[in-house]
């Protein structure tokens, strides 16, 4: 089965696999990464394909499963999209969490904050806030990554926190 030219396989199926990966991720760059991962997996397991006519379907399944696995991993990594300075007073008041009601309440609060972030912050604000809080990047690192000025990143972080605080207060008073 290794007689298949991988370069030819790549050129034939690339665009369709990128489309499949993009359908799941809604991110062109992420879709490209997933397709690359798909071809690595395919290369390692090419001997398992019995019918060469089914290579396209086989690659499509690998792409879909790889995209789903990646999204699950990202969901686990980014379950909390809030700056620690916002959450510290809330989490600190919980103490040791002796009661299950407190744990449930905190979990619901985390979910609500994530919904507020998604609903009330622009993609630009979400992006810098996530890079700062979840990835632990410094302002200058975020600026380099996003090709922005450091002052722009600081401004976006400030405004994101301010909008999130306002949305949270409005939600609590409603």
Ordered structural domains, the chain, with CATH:
6-77 (1.10.1740), 84-173 (1.10.10.10)
Helical pair 123-133 and 150-173, crossing angle rounded to 10 deg = 100
pLDDT tens, position by position, 5-51: 778 888 899 999 999 898 888 888 999 999 999 999 988 888 888 88
**What CA–CA distance (Å, rounded) separates 27 from 49?**
29
Instruction: Check: pTM over 0.75? Answer yes or no.
Output: no
**Range 69-94 average pLDDT:** 61
Which ranges in 26-149 belong to alpha helices (H)?
Answer: 28-44, 55-77, 84-92, 100-120, 123-133, 139-146
**What CA–CA distance (Å, rounded) separates 55 from 46?**
9
Q: The tokens 């309440």 sit on which residue?
A: 105
Q: The tokens 């040791």 sit on which residue?
A: 96
**Residue-level length of the chain:** 174
Three-state DSSP at 49 gives coil
Whether the Cβ atoms of residue 161 and residue 86 lie closer than 8 Å to each other: yes
What would the two tokens of residue 2 be? 């290794």
Which regions of 3-146 does DSSP assign to beta strands (E)? none
Three-state DSSP at 149 gives coil
Which residues are within 8 A (CB) of 17 and not within 5 positions of it... i.e. 6 or more apart? 35, 38, 59, 60, 63
pLDDT tens, position by position, 141-166: 888 877 889 999 999 999 998 998 88
- The neighbour count for residue 18, using CB atoms within 10 Å, is 17
**What CA–CA distance (Å, rounded) separates 158 from 125?**
9
**What CA–CA distance (Å, rounded) separates 103 from 100?**
5
pLDDT tens, position by position, 84-137: 555 555 555 444 445 566 667 767 776 777 788 788 888 888 888 777 766 667
Q: The tokens 């949270």 sit on which residue?
A: 168
């Amino acid at each position: 089965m290794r007689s298949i030219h991988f370069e030819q396989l790549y050129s034939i199926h690339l665009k369709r696999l990128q489309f499949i990966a993009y359908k799941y991720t809604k991110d062109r760059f992420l879709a490209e990464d997933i397709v690359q991962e798909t071809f690595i997996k395919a290369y390692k397991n090419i001997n398992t394909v019995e019918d060469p006519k089914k290579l396209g379907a086989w690659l499509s399944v690998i792409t879909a499963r790889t995209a789903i696995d990646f999204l699950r991993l990202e969901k686990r990594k980014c379950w909390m999209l809030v700056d620690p300075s916002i959450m510290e007073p809330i989490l600190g008041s919980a103490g040791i969490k002796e009661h299950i009601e407190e744990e449930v309440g905190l979990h619901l609060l985390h979910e609500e904050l994530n919904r507020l972030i998604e609903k009330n912050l622009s993609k630009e604000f979400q992006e810098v806030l996530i890079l700062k809080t979840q990835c632990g990047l410094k302002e200058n690192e975020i600026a380099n990554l996003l090709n922005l000025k450091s002052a722009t990143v600081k401004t976006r972080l400030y405004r994101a926190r301010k909008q999130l605080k306002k949305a949270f207060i409005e939600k609590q008073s409603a």
